[in-house]
Amino acid sequence: MFADVTLPIAFDSFTYLVPSELENKVRRGSRVVVPLGKNKIYTGVVLTLHSNTPQGVELKSIIEVLDEQPAVNELQLRFWQWMASYYICPLGDVMKAALPGAMKPKDEEALKEKNKKRRSADAHSAEAKTSPLSTLSPVQQQAMESIEKSFSEKNVTLLHGVTSSGKTEIYIHLIHKCLQEGKQVLYLLPEIALTTQITERLRRVFGDKMGVYHSKFTEAQRLDIYKRQASACPYQLILGVRSGIFLPFSNLGLIIIDEEHEHSYKQQEPAPRYHARSAAIMLAHMAGAKTLLGTATPSFEVYHMARKERYGYVQLTHRHRDMQLPTVEVIDTKEAKRKKLMKGAFSPRLIEAMREALDRKEQIILFQNRRGFSSFIECKQCGWVPRCPHCDVTLTLHKKTATLTCHYCGYTTHIPTQCPACEETAFTDIGVGTEKVEEQIAKLFEGAATLRMDLDTAKTRLQHERIISDFACHKADILIGTQMVTKGLDFDNVSVVGILDADSMLNLPDFRSYERAFQTLSQVAGRAGRNRKPGLVILQTRSADSDIIRHITNNDYWQMFYEQMSERQLFNYPPFRRLINVYLRHRDDQLLDHLADDMGERLRAVFGDRVLGPERPPIARMHSLYIRKIMLKIEHQASVTQVREALLSIQSQMLAMPIAKSLNIYYDVDPL
C-alpha cells in the first residue's frame, strides 16, 4: 500500500510506502512522520491511500502514524485542495497555513501539560453567567426575517447596513438560533484589533460556547483550540480572523463575515494568497452551510453579485434608535494653505471643532494614513533622500527612536549626521505621519491626553487591547491612528472624527482607489456619534470639489458604485473579469527583464490580449529581489482548471531553462 502525503513545504505531495504494521492505522487525514531527502524528518498529512506503484523512484516508508482519528477531516482536505487549485499554489503551502505550527509531535508533548493546567483554570472562569439576548427593534426583526428567507433560496446573503444600524445585534440573534439547532457558527473579523470589543459582547451572550482563534495567540492556545474543534465536544461558536477558516468543523451551519469589504481578509504574503471571504463562501458551500456578509460599504465584487441576485440582499438604512449619521464637513486645505491658515496638519475649523469637543469632555479620533514621523527626509542643500538598500522605497523617519525605517523589509538605520552627497547637515522632513500629528497636538491642545494606534505602538495583541480599553475609559481625549482606527471600533463618547488628509487615499495608482477611499473614509466617519451624541466629521482635502468627496459627504454609495462600474467595465477590470497577477522575482535586474519578456510572450501565445505587461510594479524591488508583474484578465466563464494548467505548463517551460535557475514565479489570484 502507498500513501500520498502532503508536507509543509512548497510541493503538492510525496508518495511513501505504508509498512504492513501501519496499514490498519493510517487513513486519509492522518498525520504521519516521514523522512525526506538525506536526513530530514517531517510531519505530513495523508491525502490518499492507493496501490499504484510509482515508477522510477526509490520509495521511503512512513515512520509513524500520530493520530488514532485523522487530525484533518474530509471537509478540510477538500477545502485545502480547492484552495491550492484556485489560488495556484502548492498544497504544502496550504497545509502550512492551515495547521497550527505546533502540530509537530515534539512540541505537542511539551504543550500538553501547559494546556491541561490552563484548561482547568478556564473551566472555572467559564462558569460565568451569560446576559440574555436583547430584543431586536421591529426594523432589525424584519431584516432578520429577510435574511432567513433569503437563506432558504440562496447560499450567500449581503447585509448592507449603515454603521451602527445594529448589524452585530442581528448576527447575535442568528448565531443564537443556529446554536439552538445544534449547528456551529464561524464569525470572521478582518482584524485582531476588533476581536477584543466583539469578544466581550459575544461572551456575555454565549459564554463558554465560544472559542477565539487568531495568530496573535500562542501556539499552545491555537493548538488547544484546534484539538478541541477536532474533538467530540467542539466550541459551537468560533470568533476568528481569516485563519479561522482552517479549523475543523463537524457541523457548520453559518459563516458570518463582518466588514466583508476589508482588504485584510486577503492574505498577501506568503502563499496561499487567498481571500478569506471567497474561501469562506466556498467552505460554507462544501459544508452545506450559509454565509452572511455584513458591511456598511460593500465591496464591488459582493454588491455586484447581490445586484445580479446571485446573493440575497438585505438593507438597513438607519442607525439604531434613529441616531443621526454624522455630518461631514469638507475643508479645502488648498485654500487654507494658500491663505497660510494651516497649523501643521490642522485647519482652523478642525482645531475649533476639536476644542469644542474637548470643552464638552467628549473624545476625538484622528485618522492619518501614514505611520512614523514623516514620509521621508531630504537634504536641504541637494535634495538627497535616504532609500532602503534592499527595497525600491524611501526610508521613513521615526523621531521617537531617532531612526529611519523601511516599512517593507524592516531595515533600520540612524539618521545621518550629514548628507553623503554634499555634506550638508540639515534635513527637511516631508509628509506627515501619525508621530508628527501627535507632536503637533501637544502644541495645539495643551493638556489634552493622546493615544496613538499604529503598527509601531500596537505591535502585539496586548498593546492593541490596552490602547482600546484606555480610550474606552477616557484615559485619553484624542486617539490618533492609521487605518487601524477606522474599523468597527465602538466608542460611546466620540463626537468628532478628523480625517487629516483624504487625498493620500485618492491618488493611488490602483483601479480600486476610489472604492477603497469611499470604504475607509465612510468607516472612519462612522466612528463618530454612535451613542446619542450627534457626530461631526471634518474631512480635509485638496480636492474638495471632486465627485468622490461629494459621494462620501452624501454617503452616496450607489452613485459612487454606478460611476466606478462603468469604468471597470470599459477597461475589463473586476468584477467584470477575474485578475491573475503573475510575479517573477530575481536578484539580477537585467536577466529578469529578459525572462519576464520571454514569459510574457509565452503567455500571449495562449491567452492573447488578456495579457498585460510585463511591467515594474510600483515597488520594483523588495528584500533585495527585483520584481516584474504580468497581469491576466480572464473571463469568468473560463475554466479555472484550464487556466491553472496552462499557467503551470508555461511555468515549467520557463524553469526548465538553465538561465532561469534561481527565478521565482508565483501567482496572485484576485489580487487586491
Positions that interact with ligand ADP (CB under 6 A)? 134-137, 140, 161, 163-169, 320, 490
Nearer to ligand ADP, 491 or 667 (CB): 491
According to DSSP H, which parts of 395-460 are helical? 434-444
| Chain-centre distance for alpha carbon 69 | 33
Which of Zn ion, ligand ADP, none does 411 bind, CB closer than 5 to 8 A by kind? Answer: Zn ion
Question: What long-range pairs does 335-338 form, CB within 8 A, spacing at least 24?
Answer: 335/544
Q: How far is the CB of 166 from ligand ADP (least distance, A)?
A: 3
Cell numbers 432567513: residue: 148
User: In this structure, what is the dihedral angle of CA atoms 77, 82, 85, 89, given to the nearest 10 degrees?
Assistant: -60
Nearer to ligand ADP, 134 or 624 (CB): 134
Which of Zn ion, ligand ADP, none does 163 bind, CB closer than 5 to 8 A by kind? Answer: ligand ADP
Q: Cβ(312)–Cβ(410) under 8 Å?
A: no
Which of ligand ADP, Zn ion, none does 164 bind, CB closer than 5 to 8 A by kind? Answer: ligand ADP
> Which of 106, 44, 34 has the alpha carbon at shortest distance from 70?
44
Nearer to ligand ADP, 31 or 167 (CB): 167
Burial 576-598 (b: 16+ CB within 10 A, else e): bbbbbbbbbbbeeeeebbebbeb
Which of Zn ion, ligand ADP, none does 490 bind, CB closer than 5 to 8 A by kind? Answer: ligand ADP
Check residue 624 and report its DSSP letter. Answer: T
Q: How far is the CB of 371 from ligand ADP (least distance, A)?
A: 26
Give the number of other CB atoms < 10 A from CB of residue 430: 13
Here the cell at position 660 is 532561469
Interaction of residue 385 with Zn ion, rule CB under 5 A = no
Nearer to Zn ion, 419 or 499 (CB): 419
Q: Cβ(367)–Cβ(498) under 8 Å?
A: yes
Nearer to Zn ion, 95 or 404 (CB): 404
Which of Zn ion, ligand ADP, none does 440 bind, CB closer than 5 to 8 A by kind? Answer: none
Q: How far is the CB of 421 from Zn ion (least distance, A)?
A: 4
- Sheet hosting strand 184-188, strand order edge to edge: 210-213, 237-240, 184-188, 252-258, 290-295, 156-161, 312-316
Interaction of residue 82 with Zn ion, rule CB under 5 A = no
Interaction of residue 390 with Zn ion, rule CB under 5 A = yes
Nearer to ligand ADP, 166 or 234 (CB): 166
| Binding test (CB under 5 A) with Zn ion, winner from 2, 82, 217, 384 | 384
Q: How far is the CB of 167 from ligand ADP (least distance, A)?
A: 3
Which of ligand ADP, Zn ion, none does 133 bind, CB closer than 5 to 8 A by kind? Answer: none
Distance, in Å, from the CA atom of 76 to the CA atom of 61, rounded to the nearest integer, reads 25
Which of Zn ion, ligand ADP, none does 381 bind, CB closer than 5 to 8 A by kind? Answer: Zn ion
Interaction of residue 619 with Zn ion, rule CB under 5 A = no
> Which of 390, 375, 388 has the alpha carbon at shortest distance from 427?
375
Q: How far is the CB of 383 from ligand ADP (least distance, A)?
A: 47
Q: How far is the CB of 230 from ligand ADP (least distance, A)?
A: 31
Radius of gyration of the chain (CA): 27
| Binding test (CB under 5 A) with Zn ion, winner from 388, 565, 603, 627 | 388
Q: How far is the CB of 173 from ligand ADP (least distance, A)?
A: 9
Nearer to ligand ADP, 198 or 536 (CB): 198
2: helix, strand or coil? strand
Distance, in Å, from the CA atom of 665 to the CA atom of 629, rounded to the nearest integer, reads 10
Q: How far is the CB of 130 from ligand ADP (least distance, A)?
A: 16
Q: What is the DSSP string of 643-670?
A: HHHHHHHHHHHHHTSGGGTT-EEEEEES
Nearer to ligand ADP, 96 or 173 (CB): 173
Which of ligand ADP, Zn ion, none does 382 bind, CB closer than 5 to 8 A by kind? Answer: Zn ion
Interface mask (CB under 5 A) for Zn ion, residues 414-433, using x and -? -----x-xx-x---------
Q: How far is the CB of 495 from ligand ADP (least distance, A)?
A: 15
| Binding test (CB under 5 A) with Zn ion, winner from 98, 178, 354, 391 | 391
Which of ligand ADP, Zn ion, none does 390 bind, CB closer than 5 to 8 A by kind? Answer: Zn ion
Nearer to ligand ADP, 406 or 525 (CB): 525
Backbone angles phi, psi at 392, to 5 degrees: -90, 55
Name residues whose C-beta falls within 8 Å of residue 254's C-beta, 6 or more positions apart in sequence. 174, 175, 178, 183, 185, 186, 284, 289, 290, 291, 292
Nearer to ligand ADP, 198 or 479 (CB): 198
491: helix, strand or coil? coil
Q: How far is the CB of 20 from ligand ADP (least distance, A)?
A: 58
Nearer to ligand ADP, 273 or 320 (CB): 320
> Which of 79, 577, 460, 145 has the alpha carbon at shortest distance from 279?
79
Distance, in Å, from the CA atom of 330 to the CA atom of 544, rounded to the nearest integer, reads 7
Interaction of residue 409 with Zn ion, rule CB under 5 A = yes
Q: For 332, what's the count of Cα atoms within 13 Å in the CB-facing half-sphere?
A: 9
Nearer to ligand ADP, 254 or 432 (CB): 254
Which of Zn ion, ligand ADP, none does 489 bind, CB closer than 5 to 8 A by kind? Answer: none
Interaction of residue 406 with Zn ion, rule CB under 5 A = yes
Which of ligand ADP, Zn ion, none does 442 bind, CB closer than 5 to 8 A by kind? Answer: none
> What's the first-to-final CA gap in the chain, in angstroms?
44
Q: How far is the CB of 516 from Zn ion (least distance, A)?
A: 24
Q: Cβ(595)–Cβ(660) under 8 Å?
A: yes
Which of Zn ion, ligand ADP, none does 457 bind, CB closer than 5 to 8 A by kind? Answer: none
Nearer to ligand ADP, 136 or 336 (CB): 136
Q: Cβ(77)–Cβ(47) under 8 Å?
A: yes
| Chain-centre distance for alpha carbon 450 | 27
> Which of 160, 118, 406, 119 has the alpha carbon at shortest distance from 259?
160
Q: How far is the CB of 425 from Zn ion (least distance, A)?
A: 9
Helix axis angle, 105-125 relative to 219-230, nearest 10°?
80
Interaction of residue 381 with Zn ion, rule CB under 5 A = yes
Which of ligand ADP, Zn ion, none does 421 bind, CB closer than 5 to 8 A by kind? Answer: Zn ion
Q: Which residues of this chain interact with Zn ion, rule CB under 5 A? A: 379, 381-382, 384, 388, 390-391, 406, 408-409, 411, 419, 421-422, 424
